[in-house]
Structure 1
Amino acid sequence: MKQSITVDNTEKQGKMIEGVKALLSKLKIKPPKFDFGTVLKKLIVPIVSILVFIGIWHVGADALRQREIDFRVEKAVADQGQAAADELRACFALNESNCQTNTLPSPSQVWASLQTLIADHYVIKQDKLDFATKTAAVNEKRVAAGQEPIVYTGRPSFIDIVLTSLKTVFAGFLLALFIAVPIGIVIGLSDTLRNAINWFIQVFKPVSPVVWYLLVFMIVKTLLIGTSSDNSFVISFISVGLCAMWATLVNTAMGVSSVDKDFINVAKVLKLRPLQKVFKVILPSSLPLIFTGLRITLSVAWMVLIAIELLAQSPGLGLFVWEEFQNGANDSNSKIIVAMFIIGIIGFLLDRIMLIIQNAVSFNKNATA
């Protein structure tokens, strides 16, 4: 009985497969072929390179750790004697908390720190919810009386820190967009203006983020003098925007000035007003170069953000890295490496997003850089 059921199921499966093949042949759809070369290039090789990187990192971190241990043991022999040195070496062998090296952490230590930071996020998130519950009634009365509500002032979690940095970089990016694109259009339309402003661009484009921060700090602290609000976010995003806007400014001016003259002549024939000419002819033709500039601007904004957050004491990734460096705890180095990877991954994703947008508006759809 069981054999006959198995035979029937096998026959049904065979008929179903033949039916699918017949349908595909009628629709002229060929079944996808397994291309091992593509899988090797796109999947296996990147995975192998990641494993090789982790292996080199592990070996290098272990060698650096051993070098520091040997140095400290030799120093203990010279200062305290062989017995103290043997005790110190045993302490390092057991990996006790009071015997930790201050060097490059291993991949496993960085992974453990990442898990710790994520666990801390959920603890802090629950603390915020508990605080909001406890102060809900009091805050309701304060708001009704026209007073400021009591806010949570505890330390932010690592996720909050990352979100703060993203908020700052996007605010700076939008500032750069609103400053650079209109100015780029104006100077791109006029050779006289472009020659008049070129010196300004060439002088201020290479200025360091630290100098931009100091300049913005001088201006903002004077404009907001007498206020009790925290100005670190305002100073940070303005500094980021001013540092990063130059690529968009130059590319916009270049795109506008290089618009095909035939398009300009058509606009004259159609008797388009100046704004119509800009929005219907010049901007569409300049979009590929403008978005190339915006892509560079976003990358530069994310790169300079870390230094500016450190200087402005804004609670983002820059300040997090500096505080961990100053902290000197057993896992501080590991947390710094975690932040380094997060900064790199987010920077890569932001660049990919801008590349997708650039390709969407570009005449060249094959840009992959």
Structure 2
Amino acid sequence: MNSSATVFSKLLPNQSSGFHYGKLINSALKNIGIPLLGIGLFLLLWAGAAQNIDTSLGKFPGPAAVTTQFAALYNEHSAEREKADKFYQRQENRNAERLAKDPGYQAKIRNYTGKETFLDQIVTSLITVSSGFLLAAFIAIPLGIAIGLSKTLNMAVNPIIQIFKPVSPLAWLPLVTMVVSALYISPEPMVAKSFLNSMITVTLCCIWPMVINTSVGVAGIDDDLVNVSRVLRLPALKHVQKIVLPAAIPMIFTGMRLSLSVAWMVLIAAEMLAQNPGLGKFVWDEFQNGSSESLSRIMAAVITIGFIGFLLDRLMLQLQRWVSWDKSSAQR
């Protein structure tokens, strides 16, 4: 009797596995299906609205036109790389012929000076925003820790933070440009002035969220942790290393994520005005160009800017998960 029941139970579908698969399907629909549905509705609304918007350069670009421009921009990049490869190959051939005739000849390789492609400008923008953000973090996190640990310093510095926090990058950029032009004088500069102008403007605008959130995180440390540090008589640096930083990491990373998003937005405006060869300059050049394809190329840049901003935020969130002891603080 028992053996018959066992055989019969094996023939029945596994209810627990079916329930498990059902949960997986529901999870997939929720995490993948709903976002795809939202994107699909957005594309439909975009395509419909684009057909009804006439500009001086023609119809506003829809999804199909922008997709075509993405392909065209990549093809332009590939063609430019081929030109660069042929340029360097010609130099190598000439140098080889010259050295065969004159072994004492000092061969030189000149840099290719062709126009920067869309992908090159993406790389330039990423380098600029990373440099400005890291400089801001180097200044803001220690300053935020000091402000959070000292109420006196907080009272002294807080008015300055509140005054400069809302200042637009458009206000900072002329001042930065004048200062860089006055101080950065070199016949062979290591980096271009336009790069420094954009980087310093990014730093000035994204430093404040990091300072504020770091100081709030440090000031809000649990009193029990502070009392443990006092009982153990930890030196100041050990107190910061063992107590302050681990407890304040969630707020520090909140400030860093906010600052990185601010830095990426500020960078585009700064590159437009400073003419640093990044995505901001690409948008400005296409706007000035005024060709029939300019709008779709600008829209392609807008989508790229937004997508890169999303990836930068996800990268910072993943970094927080790696270094934070409280994994629940890095869920979104």
Normalised by the length of structure 1, the TM-score is: 0.77
Give the match for residue 264 of structure 2: 302
Aligned counterpart in structure 2 of residue 200 of structure 1, from 157, 160, 170: 160
Structure 1 residue 58 corresponds to structure 2 residue 15: no
Cα distance change on mapping 1:254 and 1:130 into 2, 3 Å: same
Aligned counterpart in structure 2 of residue 125 of structure 1, from 68, 74, 81: 81
Give the match for residue 184 of structure 1: 144
Q: Identify the range of structure 1 (112-121 vs 207-216) with the bigger mean alpha-carbon deviation.
A: 207-216
* 4+ runs deviating over 6 angstroms: 137-141, 144-148
In structure 1, the gaps of 5 or more residues are 1-17, 69-99
Q: Is the 8 A contact 2:250 2:329 kept in 1?
A: no
Cα offset, 1:328, TM superposition: 1.0
Q: Is the 8 A contact 1:139 1:150 kept in 2?
A: no
Give the match for residue 307 of structure 2: 345
The code of the aligned residue for 2:80 comes to I
Give the match for residue 314 of structure 1: 276
Q: Distance in 2 between matches of 1:55 and 1:271?
A: 64
Cα offset, 1:322, TM superposition: 0.6
Q: 1:160-219 deviations in whole A, cap 9, x for unaligned?
A: 111111111111110110010011111211111110111110111111111222222122
Aligned-residue CA RMSD in angstroms?
Answer: 2.7
Q: Distance in 2 between matches of 1:227 and 1:64?
A: 50
Q: Is the 8 A contact 1:176 1:244 kept in 2?
A: yes
1:33-182 equivalences under 5 Å are: 33-35=21-23, 36-65=25-54, 101-136=57-92, 150-182=110-142
Q: Distance in 1 between matches of 2:52 and 2:134?
A: 46
Give the match for residue 176 of structure 2: 216
Q: Distance in 2 between matches of 1:212 and 1:119?
A: 37
Structure with greater contact order relative to length (CA < 8 Å, sep ≥ 6): 2
Give the match for residue 267 of structure 1: 229
Q: Is the 8 A contact 2:51 2:59 kept in 1?
A: no
Normalised by the length of structure 2, the TM-score is: 0.85
Give the match for residue 87 of structure 1: none
The code of the aligned residue for 2:84 comes to K
Cα offset, 1:321, TM superposition: 0.3
Cα distance change on mapping 1:277 and 1:108 into 2, 3 Å: same
Q: Distance in 1 between matches of 2:95 and 2:133?
A: 35
Cα offset, 1:145, TM superposition: 9.4
Q: Is the 8 A contact 1:176 1:245 kept in 2?
A: yes
Give the match for residue 73 of structure 1: none
Give the match for residue 3 of structure 2: none
The code of the aligned residue for 2:174 comes to L
Cα offset, 1:367, TM superposition: 4.8
Matched residues, number:
310
Q: Is the 8 A contact 1:309 1:316 kept in 2?
A: yes
The code of the aligned residue for 1:352 comes to R
Give me the identity figure in percent: 43
Match of 2:21, SS?
Answer: coil
Q: Distance in 1 between matches of 2:148 and 2:38?
A: 45
Q: 1:28-51 deviations in whole A, cap 9, x for unaligned?
A: x94741344333322333223222
Give the match for residue 11 of structure 1: none
Q: Is the 8 A contact 1:292 1:358 kept in 2?
A: no
Give the match for residue 227 of structure 1: 187
Structure 1 residue 365 corresponds to structure 2 residue 325: no
Cα distance change on mapping 1:217 and 1:145 into 2, 3 Å: farther
Q: Distance in 2 between matches of 1:354 and 1:304?
A: 18
Q: 1:271-296 deviations in whole A, cap 9, x for unaligned?
A: 22111111111111111110110010
When Rg is computed on C-alpha atoms for both structures, the one with the higher figure is 1
Cα distance change on mapping 1:159 and 1:227 into 2, 3 Å: same
Cα offset, 1:137, TM superposition: 6.9
In structure 2, the gaps of 5 or more residues are 1-6, 99-103
Q: Is the 8 A contact 1:173 1:244 kept in 2?
A: yes
Q: Identify the range of structure 1 (223-232 vs 286-295) with the bigger mean alpha-carbon deviation.
A: 223-232
Q: Is the 8 A contact 2:214 2:252 kept in 1?
A: yes
Cα distance change on mapping 1:136 and 1:259 into 2, 3 Å: farther
The code of the aligned residue for 1:132 comes to Y
Q: Identify the range of structure 1 (327-336 vs 39-48) with the bigger mean alpha-carbon deviation.
A: 39-48
Cα distance change on mapping 1:228 and 1:139 into 2, 3 Å: farther
